[in-house]
């Protein structure tokens, strides 16, 4: 077994895609419209696991109840946080800091809908 993707509802698909593809440098991998009319767009990094964004114009804003974060590997946590805050004005919730338990330098930010993102720079 393997994890294929995680799906989250978003309030603005274009803003979400710009954040994940332009700011975080992930790649849009595919897109389709479901039978209910929802736009479904997938992004991924270098691996096979994807994040699926679901969007319906008439749906209420998402509530990330129970959702904590998605982790994204970066080469330099400090530089990535500095760039993202400057370019997107995203919220920095914690870090950058060294996490000995995770053997990494990490920071926690929010995407445009307030979903948590952990930026992870693994120690060598």
Active site members: 118
The runs of H, that is alpha helices, within the chain are 13-17, 77-88
What are the strands of the beta sheet with 69-73, ordered from one edge?
Answer: 69-73, 116-122, 104-110, 92-99
Alpha-carbon distance of 41 to 99, in angstroms, equals 32
């Amino acid at each position: 077994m393997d994890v294929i993707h995680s799906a989250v509802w978003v309030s603005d698909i274009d803003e979400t895609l710009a954040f994940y593809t332009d700011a975080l440098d992930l790649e849009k991998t595919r897109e389709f419209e479901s039978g209910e009319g929802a736009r479904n767009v997938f992004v991924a990094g270098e691996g096979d696991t994807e994040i699926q964004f679901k969007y319906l114009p008439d749906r209420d804003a998402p509530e990330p109840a129970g959702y904590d974060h998605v982790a994204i590997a970066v080469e330099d946590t400090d530089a990535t946080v500095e760039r993202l805050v400057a370019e997107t004005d995203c919220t920095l919730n914690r870090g950058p800091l060294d996490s000995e338990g995770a053997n990494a330098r990490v920071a926690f930010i929010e995407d445009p809908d307030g979903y948590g993102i952990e930026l992870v720079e693994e120690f060598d």
